[in-house]
Amino acid sequence: MSLSKIKIQKTALNLIGHFDSEAKVEIETVEEVYRLNIESELAPMLIGRRGQNLQALEHVLRLMIAKEAEEFLPLSLDIAGYKVMREKEITEIAKELAQKVLTSGEEDILPPMNSFERRLVHMALAEIEGIQTDSEGEEPYRKIIIRKK
């Protein structure tokens, strides 16, 4: 049983409404993934430090929607475009560090990141010839090491 966009939007509003009853939820489907973006005056609080609250809200929303739909539905929750901005930022930093590693030959270690951010780095640097990335450590301190091949 698949849910309609309207039902998914209502579920998201129900969850976010506990924090901000004036929040707006936009939803689009991209490559069979429901992408929700929340606009709220409380965006900084909803995003949290380094996106931790956003991650938690996305997890809870996924569980709520899976229960309603009686199946897993792929979705991505963003608040005030934070994830899009963060994706660009992380990709740019990773590519700059990769160039530094290629030039110096010395490895570089990125600060701890969540799995979504680490995946972005691995994907961005997979395209760069002569660069290798590895994840090391345990959550929540797992980091990426960028090395020259």
The residue extents of the domains of the chain are: 5-80, 85-148
Confidence at residue 63, expressed as pLDDT on a 0 to 100 scale: 96
Q: Is there a contact between 6 and 25 (Cβ–Cβ < 8 Å)?
A: no
Answer yes or no: is pLDDT of 2 > 70.
no
> Can you tell me the mean pLDDT for 107-131?
93
The tens digit of pLDDT for each residue in 101-111 reads 999 999 999 99
Confidence at residue 77, expressed as pLDDT on a 0 to 100 scale: 96
Q: Cβ contacts of residue 30 below 8 Å, gap of 6+?
A: none
> Can you tell me the mean pLDDT for 105-119?
91
Distance CA 26, CA 5 (A): 10
CA angle in degrees (0–180, nearest 5) for 144-146-149: 135
> Can you tell me the mean pLDDT for 55-63?
96
> Can you tell me the mean pLDDT for 122-132?
94
Tokens encoding 139: 């959550």
> Can you tell me the mean pLDDT for 89-109?
95
Give the position of tokens 């996106």: 51
Answer yes or no: is pLDDT of 12 > 70.
yes
CATH class as words, domain 5-80: alpha beta
Strand partners for 10: none
- CA terminus-to-terminus distance, the chain: 47
The pLDDT confidence band at residue 116, using thresholds 50, 70 and 90, is: confident
- Across all residues in the chain, what is the average pLDDT? 93
| Helix axes of 115-126 and 82-104: crossing angle, nearest 10 degrees | 50
At the fourth CATH level, the homologous superfamily of domain 85-148 is: R3H-like domain (3.30.1370.50)
Q: What are phi and psi of 79, to 5 degrees?
A: -130, 120
Answer yes or no: is pLDDT of 35 > 90.
yes
The pLDDT confidence band at residue 1, using thresholds 50, 70 and 90, is: very low
